[in-house]
A and B are shown apart, each in its own frame.
Chain A
């Protein structure tokens, strides 16, 4: 029996917020082992798509399959499924009353019966993987933006999830920290055999590590292909996004954008 080659599959998905369609007709296949960049301007619905992938938002139509099975609607079953999905949030979401090591240990302590010594060892390994072993006893308020992002990454990897989702992993980071984070994502994906989905609007930093790219704009997927194909496309909508031009088919004004969607 061979493993399902598809990690995530969205079929004819329609996602709504407050009764208004944010994304419609979304078809997406993410192969196992790949790094897929989900790109698009701010407000295009990238975070809404992420919410659908984690089960926070149920699709109004269509199906979302993650790791070979549809996401359950029951909240307890959904919590169980989330053990196999690691998510790096834009705001990190580190618990401020716990130290770095306690933050990384939290999922292990909650979901496993491992002895304390083994958990400590695993936490040290995870922190070593993101280059922060020396920061184990610090608290989140003592970390720089880049360090906090790496701690959140170590925590997201704590349970060795086969699927990692990164929500705007570069927001608020300087170019060096951005480079470190992207290199880490690529290295961890290869060494741990993960499947990664990077939701971002940082095109030039994300594309070099991605195997596939999709662009979301005006409430739909406007491009799907390899990074090379993306760079070569002549689609005016994609070109406007890639070049950062204020005028074009993607409306800058929110009212016009809502109308287009």
Chain B
């Protein structure tokens, strides 16, 4: 009965998510773990986000310029790049890069902790394994992914400015003025950060869930890692549509 099995899995994942929230007690150890995880999954993701952001900015600028030039509106390129990035591309692509870089590592780490008895040992020491190993990773993702999205946007806009002004020949002042007029700080930029927090939390929960419940074998860890990337990526894309429909659908 695949439907019953799927419903059961969904229920387990929901209960797991609740247990993560319940285990998030702001103790000294929790903050120490949180800082460590922010470094591991956030700071270490900066290079991939920087490169990804720069190339997305370059690609969107090139694509947009060709389309806008047809209508003699090539000086509107920064509006197209800005709105496209803040509303859709930056939160989604940052989350997908994060899933590939950090989600896989969360699933692999927890899978290995399971396989090497570390999770069992925590429970036997009367330490809640979810509080120790999962909650700090979840909150680190909720904090880091919006910051990484902001970094992604900065690199993408900078790359776009370089290409538009120094390669295509659009006036630099026009580029920034059009961007400033088109993009609203609150409704575009802050909304992008809010979406990113949801995506970060989702990615971390999915990766933690499959890693935490991985079969305690090498194959189990491998399967959990793959499943984390696939499931989290699909959920990010689905949630992006739902959130965009609510936020920008009017």
Contacts and interface: CB of A to CB of B under 8 A. Distances in A.
A106 B124 contact: no
Given A109-B29, A110-B29, A94 B121 contact: yes
A56 B123 CA distance: 9
B126 A91 contact: no
B174 interface: no
Interface residues of A, number: 25
Interface in B95-154: 113, 116-118, 120-128, 132
Interface string A106-136: 1101110000000000000000000000000
A156 B117 CA distance: 14
B21 to A, nearest CB: 15
Given A109-B29, A110-B29, A79 B128 contact: yes
A11 B113 CA distance: 34
B133 to A, nearest CB: 9
Given A79-B123, A80-B126, A107-B125, A94 B118 contact: yes
Nearest to B36: A97
Interface residues of B, number: 15
Interface string A78-103: 01111101010111111110000000
A93 B121 contact: yes
Contact of B126 (A79, A94, A96, A109): A79
Contacts of A85: 124
A106 B125 contact: yes
Interface of B: 29, 113, 116-118, 120-128, 132
27 contacts: A56-B120, A56-B123, A79-B128, A80-B126, A82-B123, A82-B124, A82-B125, A89-B117, A89-B124, A91-B117, A92-B117, A93-B118, A93-B120, A93-B121, A93-B124, A94-B118, A94-B121, A95-B118, A96-B116, A96-B118, A107-B126, A107-B127, A110-B29, A110-B132, A111-B126, A152-B121, A156-B125
